[in-house]
């Protein structure tokens, strides 16, 4: 629960990151990465990276972007399918994508389930990210 609360804090204040590292005067923020599949070895993108970053899920033209149709015709499709073990869009998925930072700390799962305690759409999740995820899943169903 504390990790999911930290995720919410990180996403709520993108310019004032509480966990930053100083490397010779440079600020480095933790990238919230999405990993999925068997043993979570498939990289699905960065949740809090700049929209122009090629690995950002907010990049509308990149392969990792949630708002484009690239994923519908690629191996990423199973992570946006209405049903499936690894799907973020299946509320009953057994092994949905996980959110981790650069240090490999887990912040819960990227899933539309509102009953899972570790879900981004759960009681301690992020309503903003949950809404985007749900609209992405609804678009994938069409």
CB 94 within 8 A of CB 40: no
Instruction: Map residue 114 onto helix, strand or coil.
Output: coil
pLDDT bin (cut points 50, 70, 90) of residue 139 is confident
pTM (2 decimals)? 0.73
List of residues 6+ apart from 16 with CB closer than 8 A: none
- Tallying the residues shown for the chain, one arrives at 142
Phi-psi region of 76 (alpha: psi -120 to 50; beta: other; left: phi over 0): alpha
Dist. CA 89–CA 92, nearest whole Å: 9
pLDDT digits (tens, 9 = 90+) for 14-61: 434 444 444 555 566 788 899 999 999 999 999 888 888 888 888 888
3-state secondary structure 98-112: EEECCCCCEEEECCC
Give me the pLDDT at residue 89, please.
93
What pLDDT is attached to residue 78? 85
């Amino acid at each position: 629960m504390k990790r999911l609360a930290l995720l919410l804090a990180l996403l709520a204040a993108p310019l004032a990151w509480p966990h930053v590292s100083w490397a010779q005067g440079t600020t480095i923020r933790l990238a919230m990465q999405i990993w999925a599949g068997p043993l979570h070895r498939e990289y699905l993108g960065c949740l809090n990276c700049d929209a122009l970053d090629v690995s950002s899920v907010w990049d509308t033209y990149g392969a990792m972007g949630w708002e484009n149709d690239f994923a519908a015709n690629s191996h990423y499709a199973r992570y946006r399918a209405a049903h499936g073990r690894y799907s973020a869009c299946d509320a009953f998925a057994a092994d949905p994508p996980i959110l981790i930072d650069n240090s490999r700390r887990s912040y819960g799962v990227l899933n539309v389930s509102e009953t899972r305690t570790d879900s981004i759409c759960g009681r301690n999740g992020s309503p903003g990210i949950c809404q985007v995820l749900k609209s992405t899943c609804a678009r994938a169903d069409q």
